[in-house]
A = this chain, B = another copy of it.
Amino acid sequence: MMLKQALHRFTTSTRGRGLYDITGEIESWVNGQEIRAGLLTVFLRHTSASLVVQENADPDVLRDLDDFFTRVAPDDPSLYRHTVEGPDDMPSHIRAALTATQLSIPVDRGRLALGTWQGIYIFEHRTSPHRREVALHLLGE
């Protein structure tokens, strides 16, 4: 059988800082591609939001994670030169650098090879709502 590929893009609306589960949206696109084995790549087209794989069971994990990043990179303009886009913009770039812009996940027997407790999240770092665009690439057979 011959390897093939597919590309896709979708947009998610965020309601300010926090984690947004995009696992379902990604899985439903992958399911429609008739690829049983392969590799899925998720790429976020932004520098003030990012991607993380995190526990999908206790929502407190997501709140603690956000709090941690606020402690490490506070919205304190006295710490940064780049303040023209608001006190939360430079911290957002830092938080994006500390997490991920891209994830690749094997596809096995028609499913993403995620662990039982793994979800894929957009981590919105800006305090106001944003539209975030995700590019997907799927390779397989």
Complex interface: chain B residues within 8 A of A46 (CB):
115, 117-118
User: Which residues of A from 7 to 41 have beta carbons under 8 Å from B?
Assistant: 7, 9, 37-39, 41
Secondary structure class of chain A's binding surface, majority of residues: mixed
Is B47's CB under 8 angstroms from A118's CB? yes
* Interface, chain A (partner B; CB < 8 A): 2-5, 7, 9, 37-39, 41, 43, 45-48, 52-55, 58, 60-61, 63-65, 68, 72-73, 79-82, 84, 90, 93-94, 96-106, 108, 113-115, 117-118, 133, 135-137, 139-141
Is B41's CB under 8 angstroms from A64's CB? no
Is A137's CB under 8 angstroms from B73's CB? no
